[in-house]
Amino acid sequence: MCKNIYRPMLTKIISIFDETKDTRTLRLEFCDQAEKDAFSFKAGQFGLYSAFGSGEAVFCISSSPTKKGYIECTFKKIGKVTASLRNLDIGDVVGFRGAYGNHFPIDNLKGKNLLFIGGGIGLAPLRSLIDNVLDLRSEFAKVTILCGARSISDFIYKDQIKEWEGRSDLTLVKTVDAVANSQEESEWKMATSGHATGGRIGLIPKILSEMNPNLTDTLAIVCGPPIMIKFTLQELEKLGLPAARIITTLENRMKCGFGKCGRCNIGPIYICKEGPVFTAEELKNLPASDF
């Protein structure tokens, strides 16, 4: 009982990746060797990252647990804490508490066909799981990734998406909500490398319906903004995937991360403790007007 649960561990920024003009990924390494050795997490879990003097903010861990020695977080500059985190440089210190919450049921995914659907910054929690799956590729059946963003420049993990496109052991479909002009459109549609087809234009649920994927023995993992999740879940069910086989993540404002500060619940469910990973079936029992 002596441990101070509010005390963050200290991490050092070892790399910075600018994803879009306002979204950044920090790669963090634990300063203390004992903490580094003891730390473990599973894809889907989150943490509280702090910029001292500004406070804490909650993001998922966007790197895979199979990548040892560091963790990554991807965040958009949107308020006080994210602005301060963005001001930090390589070598600067970031506080970290976690990992908290439940995780993607990776053991239940083994041997199954997987359909990953990520929209916007929702690709961050998904990437932790995708990398985890790809690092243990032989344990899973077919892998399909459908990712979308508002515009071409709004894609995060651009390099990684390129890398996925080049792999022959997965199918990748990417789409944008809209393009700026006809030149951008033709470039986007041509944008093929390796085996993937060119970029699509349209909202994720629409593209999903056009893809009309074979969903036998498939689990879908969907992350993105609430509105995208809502319509994507509807589309998946229309395509015949039962809600129990659709996995998604929720997020809400959090302060403590361990079920005490009282703000992240939707109905009786605390996202920080019983989430952030839920099946679409579990969501059906939660009051829609509390989202």
Partner 1 sequence: MKNYQLSAKDLAAFFEKVLSNNLRLIAPIKVKQNESQNVTKLKNKAHILFREIPSKDDLKNIVIDAYTDMSAKEIFFPRSEPVIEYTNKKSGVVIKDIDPQAKETVLFGARPCDAFGFSLLERLFSWDYDDPFFLKRREKTTVISLGCTSPLESCFCTSVGLSPMNTEGSDILFTPMSNNNNDKEDRYLVEVITPRGEKLIESIIGISSDLKNIFTEGNSLVQAKAAFENKVKEQMKRKEDFKDITEILKYKFDDSQLESETYRCLGCGVCSMVCPTCHCFDIVDEGEASHGYRMKNWDSCSFALFTKHGGGHNPRDMQFKRCRQRYMHKLHYYREKFADALCVGCGRCVKACPVNLDIYSVVYNLKKAYANNKNKEDKEK
Establish if 287 lies at the interface with partner 1 (CB under 8 A): yes
H or E element that contains 231: helix 226-238
**CA distances, 73 to each of 48, 56, 157, 202, 211 (Å):** 10, 13, 12, 28, 31
Please identify, using beta-carbon distances, which residue of 242 and 268 lies nearer to partner 1.
268
Please identify, using beta-carbon distances, which residue of 16 and 93 lies nearer to partner 1.
93
Which of 16, 20, 39, 55 is the binder for partner 1 (CB under 8 A)?
55
DSSP label of 182: H
Alpha carbons 115 and 131: distance in angstroms, whole number: 14
**CA distances, 154 to each of 9, 12, 21, 132, 179 (Å):** 32, 27, 8, 24, 11
Residue 172: CB partners within 8 Å, gap ≥ 6?
144, 145, 146, 147, 161, 164, 165, 196
Stretch that binds partner 1, among 14-22, 66-74, 183-191, 251-259 (CB under 8 A): 251-259
Establish if 14 lies at the interface with partner 1 (CB under 8 A): no
Establish if 34 lies at the interface with partner 1 (CB under 8 A): no
- Cβ 115 to partner 1 shortest distance, Å: 26
Alpha carbons 234 and 208: distance in angstroms, whole number: 11
Establish if 28 lies at the interface with partner 1 (CB under 8 A): no
Please identify, using beta-carbon distances, which residue of 198 and 267 lies nearer to partner 1.
267
H or E element that contains 89: none
- Cβ 68 to partner 1 shortest distance, Å: 24
Establish if 74 lies at the interface with partner 1 (CB under 8 A): no
Stretch that binds partner 1, among 132-140, 190-198, 202-210, 266-274 (CB under 8 A): 266-274
- Cβ 191 to partner 1 shortest distance, Å: 29
Residue 145: CB partners within 8 Å, gap ≥ 6?
116, 117, 118, 130, 164, 170, 171, 172, 173
Establish if 90 lies at the interface with partner 1 (CB under 8 A): no
Please identify, using beta-carbon distances, which residue of 56 and 72 lies nearer to partner 1.
56
Establish if 23 lies at the interface with partner 1 (CB under 8 A): no
Tokens of residue 107, six digits: 């053991």
The sign one gets for the Cα dihedral 11, 75, 235, 264 is positive
Establish if 3 lies at the interface with partner 1 (CB under 8 A): yes
| Binding interface with partner 1 (CB under 8 A) | 1-8, 10, 50-57, 76, 78-79, 82, 84, 93, 95, 226, 252-253, 255-256, 258-268, 273, 287, 289-291
